Amino acid sequence: MCGIIGYTGTDDSALDILLTGLNGLEYRGYDSAGVALANDSLDIYKREGEVSALEAAVPEAPGSVSAGIGHTRWSTHGPPSDENAHPHTDEDGRVAVVHNGIIENYQALRDELVARGHEFTSDTDTEVIPHLIEEQLEAGENRQTAFRQVVDRLEGSYAVAAVFEGSDVIYAARHESPLVIGLGDEGNYLASDVPAFIEYTDQVIYLEDGEFATLTPDEVVVRDEAGEIVEPSIEEIAWDPEDAGKSGYDHYMKKEIHEQPRAIRNCLRNRLAEFEDRVVLEELDDIERPARIHLVACGTSYHAALYGAQLLREHGIPTQSFLASEYRAESVAVDAETLVIGVTQSGETADTMRALREANGAEATTLAVTNTVGSSAARECDHVCYVRAGPEIGVAATKTFASQQVALAMVATALVDDPDPALVDALSELPDQIQQVLDESHARALADAYVDADAYFFVGREYTAPVALEGALKMKEITYKHAEGFAAGELKHGPLALVTADTPVFALLTEGSRLEKTLGNVKEIQARDAPVIAVTDVPAEVERYVDHVLEVPSSHPKLTPILANIQLQLASYWVANQLNRSIDKPRNLAKSVTVE
């Protein structure tokens, strides 16, 4: 949510590097963008709209610029506009600031500044920062101290970076919002996330909460909250820059849907001991069988959590899944006997992080199931199981959902004494089966046929119920059409009133998820004239009851829903494509939601 980029180097290519970085971060917010170039004076360019609008506004030959910061915004305080776009400056234009997160005490700070005569040009919470820095400079503080003192006054969650006129130093700080530093040969980089600079370097330092960093072209200094210099650990990112590109696909989402066989292979690698019918998750070695498990997550990750919770319950461990935003340690039984699993692609989602922090506070054992190495979830939980899906740039989660489902299936298997050997075998076959779905799907033709529908409904039971919710979420977020997912049995308790001839219903009819019962619900749907599209591994059993079939190979009943979801992803993608939607950057959304 909002993307920060910074570069300071020995060459003159700061503007190019900042724009490349902003393109790589646009999934974090895309309602406006801006850069501050640190010359003798600060040159600020900012525009409402996507990064392309900013690119059109910057000079082709900006002269020699070796340092600067940039930002792509997802609005919180004030609507998208040129004025509200970052960077923001003090009144004299001596310092420029970009910020991600929310400054909870900004109104008090702003009132204070206005009372002292400051004039503001934006609605943002961010703008208080440069004004406060200006005051500190006027009071005689040096830049570093001024920056630090102001950051110390901020309440809330933030990542913030500043540059000053006539200087190539970047100052940065983080508190509950990610910041990563890239170490290059020609200079150093700062960003909210690695895709911003992966083209230039794979050597990174993840800033910890409360740390401050000072970047110059040839040095990075990190200090802790007390101002002491710390020796940060340098990590190597195991990505190819190509992983973060579109590789010839029209959209990242399409590329990421098609990357699922590889993502699942990576997730499983070295974790299946097939000859022993076991899952080997060394990450869980130290976890005793818990008295109970809580899964906390949001959005798509919550759907994966619902799926994982069913698997864990089947293994006899009392398990509940919670929307992270609704999780309160004081009102659920969470204690040292509880394992709390945070399911989060980004590892930075504010709601999930708050829930995990409350669980840590209650002395629960915490486990992050995340895609993001070095993320807050990975660092703050007691244990971490990476899903290894690779970078996901499309705002709509696809490959990470499948990877989370597989990782949770492995977690459930690893936590029990008597794993199901058939499940272990079936896991190893999943990547090829996903490939088969991708190769043979005719979801596109169906999407074309039903692109004008009034709404889309999705129904499933047991293991397919979370997939029905996910199918609907995907459809609504990228097509902007009404879509709802239901446990199939619930339809007759109200939602059936919405079903008409213009509301196609995707029915997940896979073996092992009480198919016969769902078929009964299908009849109720058809009696209301709605077309029914079955997603099924047993077409011969269901085709006479439905209007269309999207087939998936047979797998273990607990895993077939993972295959069924691929068909739903494709159906949503093709409806959105027909409607010419902004598939990778749906309106109003951003990938990493770092505000509560």
Residue numbers annotated as active site: 2, 591
Distance CA 187, CA 189 (A): 7
Burial class (CB in 10 A: 0-12, 13-18, 19+), 122: middle
Q: Is 356 in the site for ligand F6R (CB under 6 A)?
A: no
Interface size with ligand F6R, residues (CB under 6 A)? 15
Distance CA 384, CA 64 (A): 44
Residue 204 C-beta: closest distance to ligand F6R, Å: 19
Among 98, 267, 268, 298, binds ligand F6R (CB under 6 A): 298
Distance CA 557, CA 580 (A): 36
Is residue 87 a contact partner of residue 36, using CB atoms and an 8 Å limit? Answer: yes
Q: By CB under 6 A, which span of 33-41, 293-301, 527-535, 536-544 interacts with ligand F6R?
A: 293-301
Residue 26 C-beta: closest distance to ligand F6R, Å: 15
Q: How many C-beta atoms lie closer than 10 Å to residue 59's C-beta? A: 10
Residue 15 C-beta: closest distance to ligand F6R, Å: 30
Q: Is 301 in the site for ligand F6R (CB under 6 A)?
A: yes
Is residue 47 a contact partner of residue 53, using CB atoms and an 8 Å limit? Answer: yes
Q: Is 349 in the site for ligand F6R (CB under 6 A)?
A: yes
Site string for ligand F6R, 307-346 (x = CB under 6 A): -------------------------------------xxx
Residue 479 C-beta: closest distance to ligand F6R, Å: 13
Q: State the greatest distance between any 2 C-alpha atoms of the chain, in Å, as a whole number.
A: 81
Locate all alpha helices (DSSP H) within 239-330, ordered by sequence.
252-258, 260-268, 299-314
Residue 429 C-beta: closest distance to ligand F6R, Å: 26
Nearest CB to ligand F6R, comparing residues 74 and 463: 74
Contacts with 243 (C-beta within 8 Å, 6 or more apart), sequence order: 198, 390, 391
Amino acid identity for residue 482 in this structure: H
Q: Is 477 in the site for ligand F6R (CB under 6 A)?
A: yes
Among 299, 460, 471, 557, binds ligand F6R (CB under 6 A): 299
Nearest CB to ligand F6R, comparing residues 370 and 464: 370
Q: Is 50 in the site for ligand F6R (CB under 6 A)?
A: no
Site string for ligand F6R, 361-400 (x = CB under 6 A): -----------------------------------xx---
Nearest CB to ligand F6R, comparing residues 301 and 518: 301
Q: By CB under 6 A, which span of 189-197, 287-295, 299-307, 426-434 interacts with ligand F6R?
A: 299-307
Q: Is 237 in the site for ligand F6R (CB under 6 A)?
A: no
Among the listed residues 410, 369, 403, the one whose alpha carbon sits nearest the alpha carbon of residue 389: 403
DSSP annotation string for 205-223: EEPPTT-EEEEETTEEEEE
Nearest CB to ligand F6R, comparing residues 173 and 473: 473
Q: Is 352 in the site for ligand F6R (CB under 6 A)?
A: yes
Strand, coil or helix: 370: strand
Distance CA 452, CA 536 (A): 24
Among 84, 266, 300, 569, binds ligand F6R (CB under 6 A): 300
Separation in Å, CA 137 to CA 140, 150, 152, 380: 5, 11, 15, 35
Please give the distance of CA 519 from its chain centroid, rounded to a whole number: 35
Q: Is 570 in the site for ligand F6R (CB under 6 A)?
A: no
Residues lying near ligand F6R in the complex (CB under 6 A) are found at: 298-301, 344-346, 349, 352, 396-397, 473, 477, 592-593
